[in-house]
């Protein structure tokens, strides 16, 4: 096991994860739709923003603490919902949730997780958040929401941008599935990644445990795949948000917003917060980066709901830039997955430590002592071109 204390950047953690995680699951995280142009833009556009350095200011007594939907957090970073997290590392969702709990930031469990809601609840002590896909089988969704309530999940993250599954070429070429199919190619990968293989032998959690056992005729891999692919609902509407909000009875965060009109609709139908997200570049290839769209969403709903952002965040400096552009907080997905793949719970904790240190140093050098004071005055230049919008918002 590598000394994770020597890992200084998220890029180094990514390289370590690549060495330890089978290709189909590493590629599942490190991929976008079609040409992956939006995936690349999410990260590239952060680099076009430069920060305003200040000197001769008091940098003592700094604080990264803030809040998200009324919950105090150690820094403005939450762990985003990611599918198949438990295939990056055995019992991955449990390990990531524990790391987030120790650090003091929110963990969000995906509907398409390997460890179930109950698995995570039984292995943590503080409430976590649950991400929901609204599927055609509304009775199953009702039970899923009720299970999240029973597990005392303190917020629901409703993903709205997966009515139709985007095409990700790496997944198709790799034959990605959970549990994996034991093809000669995958057996070869396991031989190259023995630590991962031995870890997987030591757990029973290798399939979508929020679904298997809770849906009829979804027990084996082929039937589960058919059921899942048929369940994403093209008819999803804002009325479904109101229904989910009523059923859950707690805070609901809408994820997948890239349009100011959609943001206003989300808030009008009960959203307590919105996440500016393009699904990590995994849905509409050619969509703008999230940091480029963020100011429009803040202008539209920032006075009535909290606005968060995900996509492309690879450093504490990126977090500062997102806050300066108007976000209340940020979500990381790939960054924590690479930590998980590289070193399990300790790897996720190391990722959070790296981000916190970068965030703290950057904040200080921008002349701020309280992360809640970061704003437009901390930006020196923004070279992201303005969007050319045709037509009006709906």
Tell me the Ramachandran region of residue 104: left when phi exceeds 0, alpha when psi lies from -120 to 50, beta otherwise. left
Residue 88 lies in a domain: yes
Average pLDDT over all residues of the chain: 94
pLDDT, average across residues 141-146? 97
What distance in Å separates the CA atoms of residue 83 and residue 323, rounded to the nearest whole number? 26
Residue 28 labeled ligand binder: yes
Secondary structure (3-state) at 274: strand
Residues serving a catalytic function are 279
Q: How many CB atoms lie within 10 A of CB 239?
A: 9
Across 220-229, 242-251, 322-331, least confident range: 220-229
Query: Using one digit for the tens of pLDDT, what is the confidence trace for 5-29?
Result: 999 999 999 999 999 999 999 999 9
Q: Is residue 90 part of a domain?
A: yes
Strand-pair partners of 223: none
With 50 as the cut, is the pLDDT of residue 392 above it? no
CA distances from 43 to 12, 15, 146, 374 (A): 16, 17, 37, 21
Residue 310 has pLDDT above 90, yes or no: yes
Q: Does a structural domain hold residue 68?
A: no
Per-residue confidence band for 390, with pLDDT thresholds at 50, 70 and 90: low
CA–CA gap between residue 124 and residue 97 (Å, rounded):
7
Residue 128 lies in a domain: yes
Q: Is 49 annotated as a binding residue?
A: no
Q: Is residue 370 part of a domain?
A: no
383 assigned to some structural domain: no
110 among annotated binding-site residues: yes
pLDDT tens digits, 265-307: 999 999 999 999 999 999 999 999 999 999 999 999 999 999 9
Q: What is the CATH number of the domain that holds 81?
A: 3.20.20.70
Is 82 annotated to bind a ligand? Reply is yes
Total domains present in the chain = 1
Domain membership flag for residue 262:
yes
Give the pLDDT confidence of 36-89 residue by residue, as tens digits: 999 999 999 999 999 999 999 999 999 999 999 999 999 999 999 999 999 999
Tokens 């917003």: give the residue: 257
pLDDT band at 179 (very low <50, low <70, confident <90, very high): confident
Q: Which domain holds residue 122?
A: 4-46+73-358
- Domain-embedded: residue 225: yes
């Amino acid at each position: 096991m590598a000394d994770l204390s020597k890992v200084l950047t998220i890029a180094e953690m990514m390289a370590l994860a690549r060495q330890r995680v089978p290709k189909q699951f590493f590629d599942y995280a490190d991929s976008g739709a079609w040409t992956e142009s939006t995936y690349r833009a999410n990260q590239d556009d952060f680099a076009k923003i430069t920060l305003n350095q200040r000197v001769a200011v008091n940098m003592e007594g700094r604080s990264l603490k803030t809040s998200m939907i009324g919950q105090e957090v150690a820094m403005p970073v939450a762990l985003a919902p990611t599918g198949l997290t438990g295939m990056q590392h055995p019992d991955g969702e449990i390990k990531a949730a524990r790391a987030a709990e120790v650090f003091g930031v929110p963990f969000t469990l995906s509907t398409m997780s390997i460890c179930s809601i109950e698995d995570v609840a039984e292995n943590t002590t503080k409430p976590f958040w649950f991400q929901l896909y609204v599927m055609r089988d509304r009775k199953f969704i009702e039970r899923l929401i009720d299970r999240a309530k029973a597990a005392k999940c303190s917020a629901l993250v409703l993903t709205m941008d997966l009515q139709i599954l985007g095409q990700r070429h790496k997944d198709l070429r790799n034959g990605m599935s959970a549990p994996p199919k034991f093809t000669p190619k995958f057996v070869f990968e396991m031989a190259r990644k023995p630590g991962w293989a031995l870890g997987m032998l030591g757990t029973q959690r290798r399939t979508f445990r929020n679904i298997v056992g809770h849906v009829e005729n979804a027990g084996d891999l082929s039937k589960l795949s058919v059921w899942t692919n048929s369940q994403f609902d093209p008819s999803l509407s804002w009325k479904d948000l109101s229904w989910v909000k009523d059923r859950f009875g707690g805070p609901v965060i809408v994820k997948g917003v890239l349009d100011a009109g959609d943001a206003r609709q989300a808030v009008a139908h009960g959203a307590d917060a919105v996440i500016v997200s393009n699904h990590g570049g995994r849905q509409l290839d050619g969509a703008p980066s999230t940091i480029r769209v963020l100011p429009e969403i803040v202008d539209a709903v920032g006075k009535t709901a909290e606005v968060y952002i995900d996509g492309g965040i690879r450093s504490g400096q990126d977090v500062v830039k997102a806050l300066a552009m108007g976000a209340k907080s940020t979500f990381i997905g790939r960054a924590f997955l690479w930590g998980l793949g590289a070193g399990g719970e300790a790897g996720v904790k190391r990722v959070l430590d790296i981000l916190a240190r970068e965030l703290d140093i950057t904040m200080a050098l921008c002349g701020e002592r309280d992360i809640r004071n970061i704003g437009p005055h901390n930006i020196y230049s923004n070279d992201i071109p303005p969007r050319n919008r045709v037509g009006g918002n709906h």
